């Protein structure tokens, strides 16, 4: 019994000393620069979005449908006192019209929400893990990069390009969401 008390006392003293030394050591430099991304899914297709291009991520947000000529326009939703148009990211990327998507991201570059089916999680990767797409046919020009994550190679969507393209995909006579 006495040996176990002495062993615990020694172990406690070692832990206290290691704790104290940790404050005396200089801060550790993180290795390579890191990039934070959201791993999302549209139907069965896996994608990623750079977190810096996103103002907010929302689940089960209600939106009100509005009439319009743009098939991708799902409606409008309120975010912090502002009405924001909600577009189907799947339709904008050329996928079939989905069921009502569960997730929305509000873009950082404009007050526009983009709806998608599933949120797979947060990914933190070295900037060297994000590679330029070599294929001549990126996803409608919206995914110039890709990243390999656990179990999937994901195109990295460039949200500013998606939003910029909304001006050119409007039906004749439809108002731009940025007007």
pLDDT at 1: 56
* pLDDT at 105 > cutoff 80: yes
> pLDDT > 90: what percent of the chain?
41
Query: For 45-68, what is each residue's pLDDT tens digit?
Result: 999 999 999 999 999 999 999 887
Q: What is the mean pLDDT of residues 94-98?
A: 78
Q: What is the mean pLDDT of residues 143-150?
A: 82
The pTM assigned to this predicted structure is 0.72
Q: Two tokens at 10?
A: 């020694």
Query: For 120-143, what is each residue's pLDDT tens digit?
Result: 999 988 877 778 766 655 555 788
pLDDT at 28: 60
* pLDDT at 118 > cutoff 70: yes
pLDDT at 176: 39
* pLDDT at 168 > cutoff 60: no
Q: How far apart are CA 146 and CA 171, in angstroms?
A: 31
Strands 113-116 and 103-107: what pairing? antiparallel
pLDDT at 50: 93
Q: Two tokens at 13?
A: 């003293």
Residue 139's nearest CA partner among 152, 123, 158, 125 is 158
Mean pLDDT of the chain: 82
Residue 125's nearest CA partner among 34, 30, 46 is 34
pLDDT at 148: 80
Q: What is the mean pLDDT of residues 32-56?
A: 90
Burial annotation 85-95 (CB, 10 A radius, 16+ → b, else e): bbbbbbbbbeb
Confidence of residue 69 (pLDDT cuts 50, 70, 90): confident
Domains and CATH numbers, the chain: 34-166 (2.40.50.180)
pLDDT at 117: 93
Cα distances from 75 to residues 54, 84, 108, 164, in angstroms, run 19, 9, 19, 18
């Amino acid at each position: 019994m006495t040996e176990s008390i002495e062993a615990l006392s020694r172990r406690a003293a070692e832990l206290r000393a290691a704790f104290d030394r940790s404050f005396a050591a200089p801060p550790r430099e993180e290795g390579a620069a890191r990039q934070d991304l959201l791993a999302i899914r549209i139907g069965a297709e896996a994608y990623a979005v750079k977190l810096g291009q996103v103002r907010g991520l929302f689940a089960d947000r209600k939106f009100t449908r509005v009439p319009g000529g743009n098939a991708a326009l799902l409606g409008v939703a309120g975010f912090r006192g502002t009405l924001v148009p909600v577009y189907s990211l799947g339709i904008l990327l050329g996928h079939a019209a989905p069921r009502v998507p569960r997730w929305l991201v509000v873009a950082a570059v404009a007050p526009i929400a983009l709806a998608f089916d599933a949120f797979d999680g947060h990914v933190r990767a070295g900037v060297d893990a994000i590679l330029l797409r070599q294929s001549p046919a990126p996803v409608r020009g919206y995914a110039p990069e890709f990243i390999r994550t656990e179990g999937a190679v994901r195109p990295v969507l460039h949200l500013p390009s998606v939003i910029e393209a909304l001006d050119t995909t409007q039906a004749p006579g439809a108002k731009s969401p940025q007007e």
